[in-house]
Amino acid sequence: MKIVLAQPRGFCAGVVRAIEIVERALEKYGPPVYVRHEIVHNRHVVESLKAKGARFIEELREAPPGALTIFSAHGVSRKVEDEARLMALPTIDATCPLVTKVHNESRRYVAQGRILVVIGHAGHPEIEGTLGQIEGKAHLVQNEQDVDGLAIAPDAPVAYVTQTTLSVDDTRGVIAALNRRFSDIQGPETRNICYATQHRQTAVRELARVADVIVVVGARNSSNSTRLREIGEQAGLPSYLVADGGEIDPQWFRGVNVVGVTAGASAPEVLVDDVVEALKRIAPSDVSVLDGPEESVSFRLPAELAL
């Protein structure tokens, strides 16, 4: 059996930065530190940080008075920021800089008097944070049908932003529907879309050209990992989302010659290695890596944690 790894795969720069923020905060201030929501959507990452002294909470009231609190990579609403100030909680913001860019764009469009449309998944923490960063009403759309249902005049000034874990391909149809519907509309350039999401989706499509089965390493509550599995299925291949090698089912690979393996942006490479070892136990395997872009993006840490 041949195992082919996608390139790129796994951690993106925003995830690397968020995890490093928690680790450095633990080193500098000592445990425990409190993190609102999972720092990234991966159980293995969360458990590893718990073992070092991080405590994960969903509401700020769960943090003791004066406890250092970190906002996750997904970003938070202004209400959460205000609540932290009222509680006098010292905070460090681990929001991905690309998510922060979406927040800033949203506020700029609203300040220009435009009606804001946010493209994304209802209930996703990034979307909740983005909607909560905007003064006044914003409209959430998840698909082209939602665009048709918007109660906005066709000639009204409109602007849109998108969830960062959606790629250009994911949003193309919705953006086209918005442009058909509204005569005065603005939105970010496609180069402002999250590079990591686009790269990983493109890599899965390339993987589907050579593989018989696709395995995506990632968490089930990870939007970008779930999308990678869907892309494999859309290419006509059996595609499976697994947390680690323990979830590999040998039945999936009967008669299979080539297994394609990739990982979502919040899945560490150690879990990819675990899956590869599980596959090798099923059949003797050669491992290769597809050609793909080498990512060199990195984001600076908050000033209080910089070396």
Q: What are 171's two structure tokens?
A: 């949003």
d(CA 208, CA 261): 10
- Catalytic: which of 38, 105, 126, 128? 126
* Cα end-to-end distance, the chain, whole Å: 46
Q: Nearest 5°: CA angle at 65, between 61 and 70?
A: 70
- Only one residue has tokens 């066709």, namely 154
Which of 258, 267, 264 shows the shortest CA–CA distance to 4? Answer: 258
Neighbouring-strand partners of residue 216: 241, 262
Under 8 Å CB-to-CB from 93, ≥6 apart: which residues? 70, 71, 302
Report how far Cα 251 is from the mean position of its chain's Cα atoms.
Answer: 30
126 is catalytic: yes
Q: Which residues contact 236 (CB under 8 A, 6 or more apart)?
A: 208
The answer to whether 194 and 169 have CB atoms below 8 angstroms apart is: no
Alpha helical stretches, state H, 119-261: 125-131, 144-148, 168-181, 195-210, 223-234
As annotated, the active-site residues are 126
